[in-house]
Structure 1
Amino acid sequence: MIDSWSGLTGVVLVSLTTLAIGTWGLRISRTTSDFMVASRTVRPGLNASAIGGEYLSAASYLGVAGLVLTFGADMLWYPVGWTAGYLVLLVLVAAPLRRSGAYTLPDFAEARLQSRAVRAVCSLLVVVIGWLYLLPQFQGAGLTLRSAVGAPPWVGTLVVTLVVLANVTSGGMRSITFVQAFQYWLKLTALLVPAAVLLVVWVGDGAVNPAGAGTPDGSGGWSIPLGEGGPQGLYVTYSLIVATFLGTMGLPHVVVRFYTNPDGRAARRTTLVVLGLLGLFYLLPPVYGALGRVYAAELAETGGADSLVLELPRLMLPGLGGEVLTGLLTAGAFAAFLSTASGLTIAVAGVLGQDVTGRRYGGRRLSGVAAFRVGAVLAVVVPGVLALTAADVGLARVVGLAFAVAASTFCPLLVLGIWWRGLTAPGAIAGLVVGGLGSGFAVVWTLVTTATTGWTTVLLGQPAAWSVPAAFATMVLVSRATAGRSRVDARRFMVRLHTPEAVDLER
């Protein structure tokens, strides 16, 4: 039985609109460059909207409000860090990365260090991070349909998988760019309109925070320390800041969008616009978390905090009004899953298409577009199956772990590769292995353990504070020890990264 016809309507409309826009974009997708980087012709305004669409995932749309409901205002470090990460990316990475001329992160690594081994390690990391990030998108889709419509969780995963595959395999990056730009503005509207209505209801009710609402200790405070407080809580806070500030530049689906800009100047302008769009969006999820502490504190105790955004309208405004708002919020949530899953699929499919499905097997080799399409299927099916078989996990928690892995691997590689001529292939590999294994072990530990206290759990639950410095130090030390194996023309490549295109045109 359908629990909410408005929610079902929202899901259907978003899915059909996504397919329609993707089909429109298909008309101008022909070449491999179109599929991989939209032929590097996406202007800053459109690209910024598309980045906002794919970056604002299930963790942003549903997870932030659930964290604020459960743990209080200290959880606002998540959206602050996710936004500030683009400032770091703007200053250190955006323009040089675009000037590298690469299609993917492994392309950049191989071009910078002239090493197939470095490329192979980077390809593996792109796939791992992409799948880890896709897992909560699929589980979030199942949560949304279960909460708003009453459907089994596997239905949401199946719908997202089919819609994403239809768009990505038909038009690639060129098609997805228009879809994601539309989905950013849909998500913003879907949160903004209900938030305004619910705030009016709250003011009319004159409601206040009930004693003990939403806090495990029953104190009723709006902000409690991260972790268990004291030294452990302080460590978790700083580790979270490191992961979110530095992890953004290492996310494959974020980095690949900068390759679609016409030049380095456009990449910088895109990043500036993205900062504004993210700052505007992240004003809204904390509103739902705060209202949830007044009207839905029990969700924090029953493990349903991630469904707060979808449940709140019907709790605060019973009847037709609440149903309409639920339908709008459900549509926005589904747009979040579709847009982020599409971006991740593009990034992972690009790597798989070049390094796995595009290789020669038995004397045959798939063409660029065909290899990309096969890679897209693999990119979606594997995490989709995991989402159906794995236990439910906190949306923001898993995304935070993906940020930690990205910060511990690609952040050191990009920063040192762009700004330090002394980086060598052995140094890069050693740093990627140390950062990848350290943060990867922490991810596995966090997902399988039931422990909630102790320094071991804290250090592995938020590994960035030790795994990022370890990766940087390893890359530097091993590179210095293998200085004789540095790229002969490294200086020339560095000049290419840091020279504005206008200067090149005058020569």
Structure 2
Amino acid sequence: MNPVLSVVAIAFVVIATVVIGFFGLRISRTTDDFLVASRTVRPWWNASAISGEYLSAATFLGLAGLVLLAGSRAFWFPIGYCAGYLALLLFVAAPLRRSGARTIPDFIDARLDSRAARRLTSVLVVLIAWLYIVPQFHGAALTINVVTGAPPWVGSVGVAIIVAVIVAAGGMRSITFVQGFHYWLKLTALGVPVIFLLIATGDVNTTIDPTLVFPLEDGPGGQDLYRTVSLVLALLLGTMGLPHVLVRFYTSPDGPSARRTTVIVIVMISAFYMLSSTMGLIARRFAGDLADPSTADSVVLLLPSRLIPGLGGELITALIIAGAFAAFISTASGLVVSIAGVVSQEVLGGGVRAFRVSALASVVVPLLVTFVTVPRGLTSSVGLVFLVAASSLSPVLLLGVWWRGLTARGAIAGMLVGSGSVAAALVVTATGAVRDPVLQSALAQPAAWIVPLATATSVVASLATRRLPSNRVDRFFLRLHAPER
């Protein structure tokens, strides 16, 4: 691996990001520009930006590593990720846009007229975003360490500084241009290597042994049905509760544009997942010695030089490094925008200056967490984020959009029970106090029981505290569901 080419690739991404971000800065003036790009982002570019921020370190590096480790069982992750956007399309994309809100707490406040529910939602949005930023910093640390030998903290700090600066400078409008560019760079950075790797293995045995990639024990009869269903549920509903994804729908001009954006996103991320999964299958066939949890996340970086010796392999590796850094920056930028929007409104009173201060401060906590934690697999780390989002925010958003009977106390109870149950499951699992295999499975993948529990809690608490029918709620529902025309 050529460190000079690696540094050049990273420098290219950084320079391109700054230049494109500066272009967005030139037309970012108002608070709406910084929070929702003045609601002027058209479907194709918005879909590119959503795909750019959604395809994170877990996808660019972690998915191929997971396929290397787990074979066909890893395919549930891209299935769940894509299904999440189908749920978004069907249930929340257009209503969220029609709500007129600029952040998720805005929507909750407008729907429930409750400062307490708004504050709790704000805390959960910040927590989920921080949990998601940490794997991006870990991925940057891993990449810098593998390709240059520099200390891991260099990558984490470098990405944190770049993200904080470009978000603070131009807000959502600037980041939209950056993320759209990053998606196409990432697609190229995996698509081109996959093509060359398949060509390079043409003189080798290109037939991947089915029993290696799809062993009998991983077939339908060998799957843990509960764990599989619970994982897919967490990924599907978790996508619906990710603040940096939801806030992008507020940038669409109207409800139909939000729907078209979602359809295009499904196509875009599906194409990327096919490439990432193919890279994992190639690694499973030709780099089985890297199938170790401590090295699997770096297989995308190491595979080209192993199969294509010489300058060609080094150039392909440099391209992959460029795509990886685009993934870290793009996802972290979207998350920081979502945090800054909430913190600036809830804590600092709103406005452009407050947004910029919040953006700079938003990277500090996840950066500190990165220094004191060890990555346990990028895909696994991101899976925790999806679980928290699915258990806390998603049930309340769905009920808020589709059920008139939801009350503020019901929403608060549901969010507290959902997030608290996740925390309890994690603590019990970490301590190893449970020995029963059935309970261990239920705690290791708890979405299948936590999501219904949180939803039922919201419903029961709402019924217990329901008020007389409100004309305000009726008007709000009309706004959510009536076609704009």
TM-score computed with the length of structure 1 as normaliser: 0.91
Q: CA 1:210–1:492 in structure 2 vs 1: closer, same or farther (change >3 Å)?
A: closer
1:434 to 417, 425, 450: 417
- Aligned-partner Cα distance in 1 for 2:208–2:14: 37
Give the Cα–Cα distance (whole angstroms) in 2 for the partners of residues 493 and 221 of structure 1. Answer: 51
Evaluate the alpha carbon distance shift between residue 54 and residue 469 of structure 1 in structure 2; reply closer, same or farther with a 3 A threshold.
same
CA change 1:161–1:11 in 2 (3 A) is same
- Aligned-residue offset at 1:221: 4.9
Change (3 A) 1:486 1:118: farther
The answer as to whether partners of 2:3 and 2:148 remain within 8 angstroms in 1 is: yes
Report the secondary structure of 1:283's partner residue.
Answer: helix
* Corresponding residue of 2:458: 475
Q: Give the match's secondary structure for 2:214.
A: coil
The equivalent residue for 1:91 is 90
3-state SS of paired residue (2:116): helix
Q: Distance in 2 between matches of 1:450 and 1:32?
A: 50
The answer for the alignment partner of 1:50 in structure 2 is: 49
1:454 Cα deviation (Å)? Answer: 3.7
Q: CA deviation at 1:463?
A: 1.7
Contact kept, 8 Å, 1:71 with 1:224, in 2: the verdict is no
- Residue ranges of structure 1 left out of the alignment (5+ in a row): 212-218, 359-366, 503-507
Residue correspondence of structure 1 range 417-428 to structure 2 within 5 A:
417-428=400-411
8 Å CA contact 2:69, 2:293 repeated in 1: no
| Separation (CA, whole Å) in 2 of partners of 1:339 and 1:85 | 20
Q: Given that residues 226 and 234 in structure 1 are in contact (C-alpha distance below 8 angstroms), is that contact kept between their aligned partners in structure 2?
A: no
The answer for the alignment partner of 1:173 in structure 2 is 172
Worse overlay, 335-344 or 297-306? 297-306
Q: Deviations over 1:180-219 (max 9, x none)?
A: 00000000000000000001112221255589xxxxxxx8
CA distance in 1, matches of 2:415, 2:332: 25
Residues 26 and 175 in structure 1, CA contact (< 8 A), matched pair in contact too: yes
Three-state SS of the structure 2 residue aligned to 1:492 is helix
Q: 1:357 aligns with which of 348, 361, 364?
A: 348
Q: Could you tell me whether the CA contact under 8 Å between 1:226 and 1:236 is conserved in 2?
A: no
Q: Secondary structure at the match of 1:103?
A: coil
Residue identity opposite 1:183 in structure 2: H
Question: Are residues 447 and 255 of structure 1, via their aligned partners in 2, closer, same or farther at CA, if it must alter by over 3 Å?
Answer: farther
Which 5+ residue runs of structure 2 have no aligned equivalent?
A: none
1:322 aligns to what? 313
Counterpart for residue 329 of structure 2? 338
TM-score (norm 2): 0.95
Deviation at 1:460, TM superposition (A): 2.7
Pairwise CA distance, 1:445? 5.5
Residue 222, structure 1, aligned to residue 221, structure 2: no
1:9–1:293 CA distance, 2 compared to 1 (3 A): same
Residue 492 of structure 1: CA displacement? Answer: 1.4
1:401–1:443 Cα contact (<8 Å) kept: no
Displacement of 1:440:
3.1
In structure 2, relative to structure 1, the CA distance for the partners of 1:302 and 1:346 (3 Å cut) is: closer
Q: Secondary structure of 1:483's match?
A: coil
Q: Give the distance between the partners of 2:420 and 2:45, measured in 1 at CA.
A: 37
Q: Match for residue 275 of structure 1? A: 266
The structure-2 alpha-carbon separation of the partners of 1:8 and 1:226, relative to structure 1 and needing over 3 Å to count, comes to farther
Call closer, same or farther: CA 1:303–1:445 in 2, change over 3 Å.
Answer: farther
Q: Deviations over 1:94-144 (max 9, x none)?
A: 111001000111000010000001001100100110011111000001111
Alignment of 1:53-452 (within 5 A): 53-206=52-205, 220-223=212-215, 233-301=224-292, 303-358=294-349, 368-443=351-426
The count of corresponding residues between Structure 1 and Structure 2 is 485
1:425–1:486 contact (8 Å) kept in structure 2: no
Structure 2 contact 72–218 (Cα < 8 Å) conserved: no
Deviation at 1:490, TM superposition (A): 1.1
Deviations 1:49-93 (A, max 9, x none): 000000000111111111110011111110111011111100100
